[in-house]
Chain A
Amino acid sequence: MLLRHTPTEITERTALTINPAKTCQPIGAMYAALGVHGCLPHSHGSQGCCAYHRSALTRHYKEPISATTSSFTEGASVFGGQANMLQAINNIFTVYNPEVIAIHTTCLSETIGDDLPQMKKKAHAEGTIPEGKYVISASTPSYAGSHVTGFSNMVKSMAEMAEPKGKKNGKVNIIPGWVEPCDMEEIKRLTAIIGVKTILFPDTSGVLNGPLSGEYKMFPDGGTTVAELQSTGDSLGTLALGEWCSADAARTLDTKHKVPCSILDMPFGLMATDRFIDALRTIAGVTIPEEIAYERGQLVDMISDMHQYLYGKKVALVGDPDQLIAMTEFLVSMDMKPIHIVTGTPGNKFEKRIKEITKDMGCEVNVRAKGDMFLLHQWIKNEPVDLIIGNTYCKYIARDEDIPYVRWGFPILDRQGHQYFPTVGYKGGLRLLEKILGVLLDRKDRDDSETKFELVL
């Protein structure tokens, strides 16, 4: 048994986190920054933070992750990190020459109270930021929120780059949240079919799902450009996908530049995608083409064809709030029973939302924000499930408890495809369904007796 010391009996823990269902803010800021064209993320802290974040993102995306660090030593930690930062900015523009440096803080620089805006001012005054280049920054203390909060904070800093010219650009801002590069591509495909012009930010497609061609570009062709970010203040409106990941940036554009916004769920599964498409229709005043209805129909078709294998199946979920809310709704919409749901990210709204979605399910639901995977495992031991959906760390629980398991979320360290095959939208719904049915039916084929074993399912 891999997790042999996990007892079935649940005791209350107030100080000890075991097997977390979250990580820290800076990695989210780093991922978000990679979705800006020509942007180099910079970690203002000890160099281990940067090394860990780059490693974790590299293992998930299997792509180069470029990022720099202020390489704090004891001296900088005592006297402040300004000298390191100024030197870093100069070195970065000289050696790597990005369009943008996106600085995020760490628990180290936050604890000593380093003042990023002041440092940026000084860098400007000293002329270390070349003409036409940008330095943006986000405060991302690791001791508050989670990786999702860090992502949101950096996206908010992108929204703060808006420089409205006063003339509407006819576009809709879409903030996709922390989804895979292919999900961002899929959102762009859908909006193109519908005929809505958009500014998608951040956009890691073409950055973190690149080809092998014998050429290495530190700054690949993808990513939202600075010009696009500046133009977000002139857009018709903003669709923020996911309250936790994207709402702050959308509200910033609303408050500062009167760009109206709608906060939607991430478009995973049938109903959340329906709401996303309908919102696009309303904001842009377009008719939804038949092609989209057709894709939707295909998803409904597969759900109805395979309903007998989904109905009543109990599911345990772990991941990030925005993803889990949409996934829970998707599962409930197919008459499945998500009964154990954990995120490590704080937020009371999460538990409320999940309870609302599952209220007619007819059974008890365990839900916890600020929970951990140790607790999830204990819940599963107390009430077993038919399926686990979550990141790669779930495989230790899935193997110990012998439960079918679908990899979905962050990080996925041991399987491929998540970078390339989207799970947003109707087509993404089909893929999720394919994965879920795949593991459920593999299990049925494994466990059925020879008498019951069937060719056609």
Chain B
Amino acid sequence: MATATKKKMVQWDATDIKAELLSKYPPKVARKRAKQIMINEALQNDTPALTANVRTIPGIMTMRGCTYAGCKGVIMGPTRDIVNLVHGPIGCSFYAWLTRRNQTDAGPDGENYMNYCFSTDMQEQDIIFGGEKKLAQAIQEAYDLFHPKSIAVFATCPVGLIGDDIHTVTKNMKEKFGDCNVFAFSCEGYKGVSQSAGHHIANNQVFRHLVGQNDEVKPGKYKINLLGEYNIGGDGFEIDRILKKCGITCISTFSGNSTYDQFVSSHTADLNAVMCHRSINYVADMMETKYGIPWVKVNFIGAKATAKSLRKIAGYFGEQELIDKVEQVIAEEMPAVEAALLNILPRTEEKTVMMFVGGSRAHHYKELFDELGMKTISAGYEFGHQDDYEGRQVLPNIKLDADSRNIEELEVEADEGRYRPRKSDQELQALDQAGYKFKQYDGLAMDMDKGTLIIDDLNQYEAEKLVEIMKPDLFCAGVKEKYSIQKLGVPMKQLHSYDSGGPYAGFVGAVNFYEEIDRLVNSKVWSHMKAPWQKNPQLSGSFNWE
């Protein structure tokens, strides 16, 4: 459809680009999309300037997936010792089978069901007469075969439509077994407007059925939970390595390489460190209300961001021993990072990148591109909300639409026996005076340059146009977008599943990422697109062997 034009981005200003993106749409579509494309002023807004978390327009080729994908695929997928049973026709379970590159280490004898795909494979008669009996039978068969600690059931579209009561079925089976926690997620694909609704539904049920079930106090000092880290390409392993080196105890990770036991003990931690704000902030909020665990936003993507996050965790606990240890670890780890940068930076500096991924990832990875001296000329989220773009201060002004109201909000109160404030009022005051911020996330826009384009729910057509006009050196999105971008001669890196490789988190990950981006933006591959006779057509006249 499009040929990469020779026009340089300097000839276009952001307003023109926005107008060009909208020019082909029917008027109604153009009006809607105009609200989701923001020319960044890099100001802290009190009211949302960008519309996000709204319906995708039918027929416009979106990058988004569904609620089920967010619940089963993203949040529960990386958990290894829960049997994740999908109630529905076969496809939904099949497509979520090992396709997200979540790594796990279950040891030689540990439980690990991640390589398995479980489904009730609903047939026409189940749709007509109801699938509850089949679900109960499938749960029984899974229990008999594996005797897992827990079986989680995921609803797909038809389940909600035919009215299968999966929560009663699972409750009955749980009571019947006695030693297996069986529970369900009403994460039908049509709920909400993107994967994001599925994250919320997953958070609710994990909180309701898992968190707080085991009060046993785990050994170790400086106990945290790492929320919103999914161990893609081994990111979680690298973060675990660093935390361990610092002497910080990770009670649970939600949910990379996680186990049932981690979830049920997570309320015994003293701090929640939130990586992916979009997918997991619900659990962080609920754990604070019910158990008194404060949360802070962290980011382990980028070496500087990692150092900053470690200092933030150390600052919270406030003990000199930990503060010193963290400084020592940073001092030990940084030389390798700096050496790698010294070599690579001259080849990446001033290169341009676009990122349209996740609900936090585009922001996280900007840190790494900053370290590489690369300019993020346009970015956006696939399923972010306004607060992910403009910071949590816009939260009170976000209007809930019908789609968001359909997603359950849990009413949470302080747990009488288990609520324990982690800090005294005095300590909190002292932290506040020292500039320590809890529950703060300023969003992507603050970190984007003035005049850059921030685009929510970017679609295939706009992606192609943007690349054609702005000719970035690198484009980042997901697997569906990969090859159409590369056909235009622009390298494309998946930032959901990383294509291959990783980890990219932490210090080791930062070096891996620098090397990977160096490979991509300085590759010879893209110089081979034209044959000699296509590059020099003027030479195609007469030429003889004589």
Contacts and interface: CB of A to CB of B under 8 A. Distances in A.
Contacts of B188: 46
A68 B60 CA distance: 6
Interface string A85-108: 101111110111000000000111
B162 interface: yes
B529 A5 contact: no
Given A87-B59, A91-B59, 17 more contacts: A15-B141, A20-B94, A23-B91, A45-B189, A46-B66, A51-B63, A51-B480, A55-B95, A58-B480, A63-B483, A88-B59, A92-B59, A95-B25, A95-B60, A96-B1, A215-B487, A344-B90
A95 B2 CA distance: 13
B506 interface: no
B64 to A, nearest CB: 6
Contacts of B25: 91, 94-95
A18 B116 contact: yes
Interface stretch (B107-115, B346-354, B513-521): B107-115
A14 B137 contact: yes
Contact of A91 (B57, B89, B403, B483): B57
A214 interface: yes
A68 B61 CA distance: 5
Interface in B75-132: 85, 88-99, 111-113, 115-124, 126-127
A146 B94 CA distance: 12
Interface in A105-145: 106-108, 111-112, 141-144
Q: Which of A11, A25, A49, A219 has the most CB of B within 10 A?
A: A49
A107 B89 contact: yes
B464 interface: yes
B12 interface: no
Contacts of A49: 66, 91, 189
Contacts of B171: none
Interface stretch (B142-150, B260-268, B333-341, B425-433): B142-150
Contacts of A344: 90
Contact of A24 (B61, B90, B99, B486): B90
Contact of B529 (A16, A18, A214): A214
Contact of B90 (A15, A17, A59, A65): A17
B486 A51 contact: no
Interface in B340-399: none
Interface stretch (B42-50, B153-161, B209-217): B153-161
A279 interface: no
Nearest to B482: A58
B55 A71 contact: yes
A218 B137 CA distance: 46
B62 A212 contact: no
Q: Which of A11, A111, A374 has the most CB of B within 10 A?
A: A111
A62 interface: yes
27 contacts: A3-B116, A16-B85, A24-B89, A24-B90, A47-B66, A52-B92, A55-B99, A63-B483, A66-B61, A68-B58, A68-B60, A69-B58, A74-B190, A74-B191, A75-B402, A88-B59, A91-B26, A91-B59, A94-B26, A107-B91, A107-B122, A111-B127, A111-B161, A142-B91, A216-B1, A216-B2, A393-B97
A332 to B, nearest CB: 30
B190 A46 contact: yes
Contact of A215 (B3, B60, B64, B67): B3
A4 B112 contact: yes
Given A27-B91, A216-B484, A94 B120 contact: no
B438 interface: no
B291 interface: no
A41 B83 CA distance: 34
A405 interface: no
B512 interface: no
A132 B517 CA distance: 46
A73 B91 contact: no
A39 B71 CA distance: 32
B239 interface: no
A16 B60 contact: no
Contact of A64 (B67, B92, B484): B484
Q: Which of B3, B88, B94, B115 has the most CB of A within 10 A?
A: B94
B60 A91 contact: yes
Given A27-B91, A49-B189, A62-B483, A17 B118 contact: yes
A96 B26 CA distance: 12
A53 B57 CA distance: 19
Contacts of B436: none
B68 interface: yes
Contacts of A111: 127, 157-158, 161-162
Top 6 closest pairs, chain A to chain B, by CB: A48-B66, A24-B91, A88-B59, A91-B59, A15-B137, A46-B189
B124 A216 contact: no
Contacts of A74: 190-191, 402-403, 406
B477 to A, nearest CB: 12
B134 interface: yes
A2 interface: yes
B157 A46 contact: yes
Contacts of A72: 189-190
Given A146-B90, A218-B1, A77 B157 contact: yes
Contacts of B68: 48
Contacts of B141: 11, 13-16
A210 B484 CA distance: 11
A68 B56 CA distance: 11
B121 A17 contact: yes
A2 B105 CA distance: 11
A111 B89 CA distance: 12
B123 to A, nearest CB: 6
A56 interface: yes
Interface in B486-504: 486-489
A343 interface: no
B161 A16 contact: no
A212 B123 contact: no
A67 interface: yes
B243 to A, nearest CB: 28
Q: Which of B3, B68, B158 has the most CB of A within 10 A?
A: B158
A87 B57 contact: yes
A181 to B, nearest CB: 14
B58 A23 contact: no
Contacts of A17: 90, 93, 118-121
A73 B57 CA distance: 11
A48 B93 CA distance: 12
Nearest to B481: A64
Contacts of B66: 46-49, 51
A70 interface: yes
Contacts of B446: none
A7 interface: yes
A340 interface: no
Q: Which of A20, A67, A210 has the most CB of B within 10 A?
A: A20
B414 interface: no
Contacts of A89: 59
A52 B91 contact: yes
A19 interface: yes
B530 A11 contact: no
Contact of A85 (B57, B58, B194, B402): B58
A2 B118 CA distance: 15
A90 B59 contact: yes
A404 to B, nearest CB: 20
A52 B65 contact: yes
B479 interface: yes
A213 B123 CA distance: 45
A159 B266 CA distance: 58
B177 interface: no
Q: Which of A25, A51, A106 has the most CB of B within 10 A?
A: A51
Given A5-B116, A91-B29, A95-B25, A144 B124 contact: yes
A84 interface: yes
B69 interface: yes
A428 to B, nearest CB: 25
A54 interface: yes
